């Protein structure tokens, strides 16, 4: 059965991304990468607050000590409070790399932050996946990508997925939760070329992985073995990321993009850039805070 789709926030985002539910605040944080914006949305009141920075925020993580860890254009930064200014954290790896920026990431159950980069010009396969420890050490995990996306861990941290989006393939790995070491790389699911590319994703409490298919107009739920279990169609072609929120984590939130769509496209899908929501039977996972 297809769940009812609602417009949680008609944000008209250029590139809405990275929704994360803050359980303590009962707010959904998200970013508009193309506009250098960080948002926090209160579904109970409909109020959406925004902060604009001097550089794009590709993604972020909540911090155990409070505030946020931001993955920005050139590197990571700490935001101690909503209205404070970001301070650099760790090496600014991409400061001299004009085509690269940090893109998508997730914290593992041990509090380490995993973050990928994207080559915005699609000029080389020099995007990569990195692991960030609480002291700011950044380790290169895997390279040879164009757009590293969809990073997510299952509940006990023993499984990890991400994608090099243009490949249309989701990659799966086994994880040693104690050390954060990946092994057993495999193609978790290969999507058909031309029918949507895997963008942001999240695991649920049953170990199934949900993926938003950019230019595919849908989100899908995959079994722990990578089999397609459910497809949810959306009224936009460019969903970007799915995450779960609400008091019971049974509300799916899906960000979307309107950048790059023609006037004709926008006439057909006037709510492109909105945040959509729908109910799910199996709850998602709470966001683990970064331990730094």
Task: Summarize pLDDT for 55-97 with one digit per residue, the tens.
Answer: 999 999 999 999 999 999 999 999 999 999 999 999 999 999 9
Catalytic residue of the set 139, 199, 248, 265: 199
Task: Summarize pLDDT for 111-130 with one digit per residue, the tens.
Answer: 999 999 999 999 999 999 99
Phi, psi of 96 (to 5 degrees): -110, 20
Structure tokens at 85: 């200014």
SS3 170: strand
CA distance 169 to 207: 19
pLDDT of residue 63: 98
Domains and CATH numbers, the chain: 6-279 (2.120.10.30)
CA distance 57 to 122: 19
Nearest to 237 by CA among 261, 221, 220, 210: 261
The question of whether 199 is a catalytic residue gets the answer yes
Q: Beta strands 68-72 and 228-233: pairing type?
A: unpaired
Listed as ranges, residues in the chain with pLDDT below 70 are 1
Torsion, Cα 137 105 158 133, to 10 degrees, reads: 10
Q: Contact at 8 Å (CB) between 105 and 120? A: no
Q: Beta strands 37-42 and 87-89: pairing type?
A: unpaired
């Amino acid at each position: 059965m297809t769940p009812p789709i609602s417009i949680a926030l008609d944000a008209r985002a250029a590139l809405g991304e990275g929704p994360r539910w803050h359980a303590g605040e009962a707010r959904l944080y998200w970013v508009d990468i193309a506009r250098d914006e960080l948002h926090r949305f209160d579904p109970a009141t409909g109020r959406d607050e925004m902060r604009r920075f001097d550089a794009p925020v590709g993604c972020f993580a909540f911090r155990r000590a409070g505030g946020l860890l931001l993955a920005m254009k050139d590197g990571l930064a700490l935001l101690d409070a909503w209205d404070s200014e970001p301070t650099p954290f760790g090496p600014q790896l991409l400061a001299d790399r004009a085509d690269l920026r940090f893109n998508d990431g997730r914290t593992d159950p041990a509090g380490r932050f995993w973050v990928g980069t994207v080559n915005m010009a699609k000029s080389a396969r020099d995007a990569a996946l990195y692991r960030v420890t609480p002291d700011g050490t950044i380790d290169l995990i895997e390279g040879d990508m164009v757009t590293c996306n969809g990073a997510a861990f299952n509940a006990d941290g023993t499984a990890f997925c991400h994608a090099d989006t243009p490949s249309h393939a989701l990659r799966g790995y086994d994880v040693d939760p104690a050390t954060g070491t990946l092994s057993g790389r495999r193609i978790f699911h290969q999507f058909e070329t031309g029918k949507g590319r895997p963008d942001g994703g999240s695991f649920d409490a049953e170990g199934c992985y949900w993926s938003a298919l950019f230019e595919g107009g849908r989100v899908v739920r995959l079994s722990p073995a990578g089999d397609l279990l459910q497809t949810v169609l959306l009224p936009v072609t460019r969903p970007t990321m799915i995450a779960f929120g609400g008091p019971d984590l049974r509300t799916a939130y899906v960000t979307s993009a309107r950048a790059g769509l023609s006037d004709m496209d926008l006439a057909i899908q006037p709510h492109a850039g909105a945040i959509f929501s729908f109910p799910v039977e199996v709850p998602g996972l709470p966001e683990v805070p970064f331990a730094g």
